[in-house]
Structure 1
Amino acid sequence: MSAVLISDLHLHESDLALYDKFERFLSSKVNGFDNLFILGDLFETWIGDDNESEFNKNVIEILKKVSTDGIKVFLMHGNRDFLIGENFCSSIKAKLLSDYHIYEDGASKILLLHGDTLCTDDVRYQEFRKLVRDKSWRDDFLSKSLQERFDIASGLREMSNEETGNKKNEIMDVNRESVLKISSEFSINKMIHGHTHRPFIHKDENLVRVVLSDWENEVNYATVIDGEISLETF
């Protein structure tokens, strides 16, 4: 068993160079692996599966090719694209994962997650997350027109960027106690996540925690081969 794991691409139609970078990655780094895991924030924003823009269609095509080539694709919600639904996943022949997923590779069990639930020091974000992940909020949002959804999402993104600039760095990183609590709840000693954009392999007590990068500059992605995790660059 083998897997490639990426996160936090934040794809958006105003950055075609980033799209090209993703396409090159898929054509050069994924072949030969059994699985591709995208651990959230594939898109900078996602306002619903019915947003059939040309850019979104192009992303669908390059991901569908990965599936067609025999590689299993798995997708997880991030804090930017939590409205991705089953229709999108079906279009790329991918499976939508829950917020916490155990990847078993032989005797090795690895917890996969986006990572935002570990940032419990950021109380305002956790409150916002609880609101927008509520089914009634999602249903109400998705009932609006595409233009209304686009306007709301743009406003939320601007507010998020402004708040992020005013927060201390340590607040936006994971909380150690939360990390150890989650690892204990799932009885694992290996974890891979993104969200914080701070790539590193952390070792704390018996836990190995691998953090993936965003895609703004050099990409740090993970591979798992026979239970062994490596952090690679692209």
Structure 2
Amino acid sequence: MAKPVLFIADLHLDPSRADIVQTFGRFLEREAPHAEAIYILGDLFEAWIGDDAISGDEPTIQLLNRAATRAPVYIMHGNRDFLLGERFCQLTGTHLLDEPSIVDIHGHRALILHGDSLCTEDHEYQDFRAMVRDPRWQQEFLALSIEQRLAKAREARDRSKSRNSELTEEIMDVSPQAVDEIMAKYDVQWLIHGHTHRPNIHRFDATAGPGARFVVGDWYEQGSVLRCTEQKWELETLALETG
């Protein structure tokens, strides 16, 4: 019997949330030996200001390194950790994927991505995303001191929280048109993403045939996993560690 393929996203790991780090460790320890692959679809970290600033995240790096010896672990940039780079992958044994990517899941082609690029109604955010994904901007940011980068990351998070409180749910969700367009572009029936923190399975008719959009949830209050076996694809929840 084929092993399951697992998808997670939006853990937003931070030293201040030991419960999430511990739950992630428990998940990897339990699942990695029996998984065909584990995919992390962005925002593994609450913030990542560069591969030279790993202080406080050593436990997570060790967890990933151990898991990667048992199953392939693939990681994708999110809107909080788009500066994850080659050194991080070397330290953890993980593989950094392009966004979007097409993966084969037990004979089914699926398109995977973080999901923020699909929120096209939020024009201000899309402008910000284009800026911070520009290699020139990233080079200038990484040239700053760690203290300066930390300060800028805090400012960006504060602005984001303030701004999001003023936006409608529709603007912060993915655009149906953007979903249709990207699935038609890549000729796929299955789309998997995170970012919106709204776990669900949306079924519809895609250009390539009957399709579905699988949304993996965040880990703030409980873990969220998409488990794909030969028989079914289903979302699961994990209780957070309390001690």
Query: Aligned-pair distance for 1:203?
Result: 0.6
Where does 1:187-202 land on structure 2 (aligned, <5 Å)? 187-202=187-202
The equivalent residue for 2:44 is 42
The equivalent residue for 2:241 is none
Does structure 2 retain, via aligned residues, the 8 Å contact 1:106–1:227?
no
My pick for the range that moved more, 140-149 or 213-222, is: 213-222
Give the TM-score taking structure 1 as reference length.
Answer: 0.96
**Structure 1 vs Structure 2 CA RMSD:** 1.2
1:30 aligned counterpart, secondary structure: helix
The percent identity for this pair of structures is 39
The equivalent residue for 1:61 is 62
The equivalent residue for 1:25 is 27
Q: In structure 2, what is the Cα distance between the partners aligned to 1:98 and 1:229?
A: 23
Give the TM-score taking structure 2 as reference length.
Answer: 0.92
Does structure 2 retain, via aligned residues, the 8 Å contact 1:5–1:221?
yes
The equivalent residue for 1:118 is 118
Q: In structure 2, what is the Cα distance between the partners aligned to 1:213 and 1:42?
A: 12
Q: In structure 1, what is the Cα distance between the partners aligned to 2:27 and 2:46?
A: 18
Query: Aligned-pair distance for 1:106?
Result: 4.1
Does structure 1 retain, via aligned residues, the 8 Å contact 2:5–2:105?
no
Give CA-to-partner distance per residue, 1:54-85, whole Å, 9 cap, x none: x21111001100012x2001000000000000
My pick for the range that moved more, 161-170 or 24-33, is: 24-33
In the TM superposition, structure 1's runs of 4+ consecutive aligned residues that sit over 3 Å from their partners are none
- One-letter amino acid of the structure 1 residue matched with residue 147 of structure 2: Q
Q: In structure 2, what is the Cα distance between the partners aligned to 1:221 and 1:97?
A: 19
The equivalent residue for 1:210 is 214
Does structure 2 retain, via aligned residues, the 8 Å contact 1:108–1:227?
no
Where does 1:43-192 land on structure 2 (aligned, <5 Å)? 43-53=45-55, 55-68=56-69, 70-192=70-192
The equivalent residue for 1:16 is 18
Query: Aligned-pair distance for 1:220?
Result: 2.3
Give CA-to-partner distance per residue, 1:89-132, whole Å, 9 cap, x none: 11111110011111113431011110001110111110000000
Give CA-to-partner distance per residue, 1:110-167, whole Å, 9 cap, x none: 1111000111011111000000000100000001110010011110111011101111
Query: Aligned-pair distance for 1:38?
Result: 0.3
2:197 aligned counterpart, secondary structure: coil
Counting matched residue pairs gives 232
Query: Aligned-pair distance for 1:226?
Result: 3.0
Does structure 1 retain, via aligned residues, the 8 Å contact 2:5–2:228?
yes
Q: In structure 1, what is the Cα distance between the partners aligned to 2:147 and 2:11?
A: 24
My pick for the range that moved more, 44-53 or 105-114, is: 105-114
Unaligned runs of 5+ in 1: none
Unaligned runs of 5+ in 2: 239-243
Q: In structure 2, what is the Cα distance between the partners aligned to 1:157 and 1:31?
A: 36
Give CA-to-partner distance per residue, 1:175-215, whole Å, 9 cap, x none: 00100100000100001100000000001212200000100
Q: In structure 1, what is the Cα distance between the partners aligned to 2:134 and 2:231?
A: 35
Q: In structure 1, what is the Cα distance between the partners aligned to 2:40 and 2:178?
A: 22
- One-letter amino acid of the structure 1 residue matched with residue 66 of structure 2: K
Q: In structure 2, what is the Cα distance between the partners aligned to 1:67 and 1:120?
A: 34
Query: Aligned-pair distance for 1:30?
Result: 3.4
- One-letter amino acid of the structure 1 residue matched with residue 202 of structure 2: H
